[in-house]
Amino acid sequence: MVTSDQILLVPLLPFLAFVTNILAGRWLKDRAAWLSIAASSLACVIALPVCWAVFQGAYFAHQGTWLMLDAVPLRFGYLMDPLSATLLFMVTVVGTLIQTYAAGYMHGDPRYSRFFAYVSLFMFAMITLVISDNYLLFFMSWEIMGLCSYLLIGFYFEKDSAANASLKAFLTTRIGDVGFLLGFLTLFAAIGTLNFSEMNGLLTEAHKTHAALNTGLLAVAALFIFCGTIGKSAQFPLHVWLPDAMEGPTPVSALIHAATMVAAGVFLVARSFTLFMAVPNILPVVTAIGTITAFMAAFIALTQNDIKRVLAYSTISQLGYMVTALGLSGLGAGTFHLITHAFFKALLFLGAGSVIHGAHVQDIREMGGLFRKMPHTAVTFIIASLALAGIPPLSGFWSKDEILLAAFGSGNFLVFGVLLLTAFMTAFYMFRLIFLTFFGTARNAGVHAHESPALMTVPLWCLAVGSILIGIPGSPLMHHWFQRFMAQTVHYPEYEPSALVMACSIVVAVLGITLAGVIYLEKKHWAVTVAKNFPSFYRLSFNKFYFDEFYSAYIVKPFNALSRILFGFDETVIDGTVNNTGRATMFLSGVKQWIDTYIVDGAVNFMGTLVYFLNSVTKRIQTGFIQNYLLIVFLSVLAFLAFELKLT
Amino acid sequence: MIVLPLSHILIFSLLLFAIGIYGALVRRNIIGILISIELMLNAANINLIAFSKYTSLSPETGQIFALFVIAIAATAAAVGLAIVLALYRIRKTVQANEVNLLKW
């Protein structure tokens, strides 16, 4: 029996772990990891029956009024529908596995407990985001995740590159976040609610009755909300932060920058799906952004040499896939790819982390022949890469196929072609990575690789099993159960499975793998030849389309110049005003001081001096000789007597 | 019986008072000063009794006053002598010109 307390416990447990670790981490030391893992796995254990119940057709929602805004109540609550149950399942399972891995990976780090505190806070935010039932709560957890991302990218803040990367990530996503904030506020102005279910109900009802909606306002809202996705899910043109985010520890890259947080942007579109459906002409924008991102990132990934950067661009590319799917009204396909991608991309990052942990290098040109030294890492890495490349029956094949089907079925053949090309490049760059890393001969004799401890390889295998099996519920083997499951709440077009699409998908994947094998195992000079013959393409890819340079020249530099001008204004005008006020005050104080010293104090001192002077005269009477006093008394009496007698 | 006129008694008392005041003002010994004060008090007593006898309807009035004055003079002398003793303890002298503790 699922109670509301039970669901609330799921985000609460990681939060408690965060509080404990941040306050008592100094004493917990290595136990901090176990606390976080325990909280996370307990949350997982609690969440799984709930998710299972939702998979069986149950539906949970609960609300409590948070505050009243002029009689408009702001309600907070959770919503367990197919979408959130799916993500809750993925987040808790993947999160727990990655934290277990991190316990081994981060071992010996001086800020060990701090790391797990941040990760727990992130888990709390992510779970809250997934189960939240309104935009406000969603946005709050969204922002906490942004904070965690910032803190964890800059976890090794002694390194300048890490500190800069965290700043870049924070500022870049902020652009999207502001858009998101404006978006849901506009939405509130348009329909008067922030609750997902209420919004869905309102829009569906309006659609049915052909009621007039303020489409213009809704379009603005949807566009702004999509800005949030562009920022958080690293879509073109705000994708630049994600590759730099790889400065963070690898488990963080796996958890936040591959599996969960970056998927939150996709989740946001999925959550707002009725809104995007209700507004005409917004979905093509989503599709365009997604396709451009998918293609561009895959193209960049072809020539990168840092193992984590290749994976980062791969993540961007796959996120582009998901966004494209959503843009093509494929809610099921997009969400499906989100889940499968979370598993195999987390696995890829953890595998890369294991390689870095064992070989202590990140540049794939210095690796090679690691297969025999790190068999567990290599095998799981290859499984994940096959899943990503789209080889059946691994999970990635089914989800990618759904997306391609959505493009094919909806008649967007240009999108279909680009996605197919992207799939080819994906297979190529992943296997370029694998052949350079695990096969061939060791190119750097200084690298002494060794397999990682079981604490790290066991999560790898768990995720590998997940990467293999998680695609089954959405595959024809289970009659597309997942798609029907997602279609329970939101209606979107579905397409008949096409053998042609599947065949294309398999062919490009196999082609990509084969080409990578030929080039990087046999004909190594081919790569050089290609780079020489197409220098502009090569440079474009190697320099990441010059995005960083472009932003640096046209946004960062002008912005800095403006800042300097404003700083100059601040310094001369504002500071000048303050300083001159200060100087004027000091001058006035000087005058007052003079008055005080010479007039007020002078008067007081003059009185004192006068009394002192008079005293110096009159004190002579006080001789101390008693007879003098007596004489004075006597003479006085005589004087009074004489005076008295004379008068009378 | 020769009746002594009032003026004689007053002159006597005046002389006594003058001796007393002179002594109080010029004597250096504090005990001497105290004795001189006693003389002045006695001069006052004589005046009281004389006026009482010659002018008052009930002569006892002055005598009672005189008795009071004698009693108070005795206590004053006791206090004065005590002060002198105390003074002697701290300054080892009873000479009024050697003591000027009340000086400014």
The confidence score (pLDDT) of residue A107 equals 85
B101 Cα to chain A: minimum distance (Å): 6
A608 Cα to chain B: minimum distance (Å): 18
Q: How many other C-beta atoms are found inside a 10 Å radius of the C-beta of residue A543?
A: 13
The confidence score (pLDDT) of residue A3 equals 66
Residue of A nearest to B101 (CA): A624
Q: What is the 3-state secondary structure of A265-285? A: HHHHHHHCHHHHHHCCCCHHH
The confidence score (pLDDT) of residue A66 equals 80
Nearest CA to A276 among A492, A130, A59, A495?
A492
Question: Which residues from chain A sit within 8 angstroms of residue B104, using beta carbons?
Answer: 619-620, 622, 624
Note whether B103 contacts A626, CB cutoff 8 Å: no
Note whether B104 contacts A624, CB cutoff 8 Å: yes
Q: Does A628 touch chain B (CB under 8 A)?
A: no
The confidence score (pLDDT) of residue A316 equals 93
Note whether A630 contacts B25, CB cutoff 8 Å: yes
Note whether A624 contacts B99, CB cutoff 8 Å: yes
Tell me, rounded to whole angstroms, the distance of Cα A419 from its chain centroid: 26
Mean pLDDT in runs of 10 for chain A (648 residues)?
74 92 84 90 90 85 80 82 90 92 87 90 93 90 92 90 90 91 90 85 80 80 91 89 89 89 91 86 90 92 89 93 90 90 92 87 81 87 91 87 88 89 92 87 75 86 90 81 81 80 90 88 78 80 82 87 92 91 95 93 93 89 85 91 81
The confidence score (pLDDT) of residue A323 equals 93
Nearest Cβ partner of B104 from A622, A631, A634? A622
Nearest Cβ partner of B103 from A623, A627, A634? A623
Instruction: Please give the domain boundaries of chain B with CATH numbers for all domains.
Output: 6-93 (1.10.287.3510)
ipTM summary value: 0.85
A634 Cα to chain B: minimum distance (Å): 8
Question: Which residues from chain B sit within 8 angstroms of residue A623, using beta carbons?
Answer: 100, 103
Q: Return per-residue pLDDT of chain B as tens, 104 residues.
A: 677 888 999 999 999 999 999 999 999 899 999 999 999 999 999 999 988 888 877 878 888 989 999 999 999 999 999 999 998 998 888 888 888 777 76
Note whether B103 contacts A624, CB cutoff 8 Å: yes
Residue of A nearest to B23 (CA): A627
Angle between helices A395-409 and A331-359 (to 10 degrees): 140
The confidence score (pLDDT) of residue A582 equals 94
The confidence score (pLDDT) of residue A2 equals 58
Question: Which residues from chain A sit within 8 angstroms of residue B103, using beta carbons?
Answer: 622-625
A619 Cα to chain B: minimum distance (Å): 6
Show the beta-strand stretches assigned E in A26-138: 60-69, 72-80
Q: Which residue has the tokens 């104080």?
A: A589
Note whether B103 contacts A630, CB cutoff 8 Å: no
Q: Are A245 and A169 in contact (CB under 8 A)?
A: yes
Q: Does A647 touch chain B (CB under 8 A)?
A: no
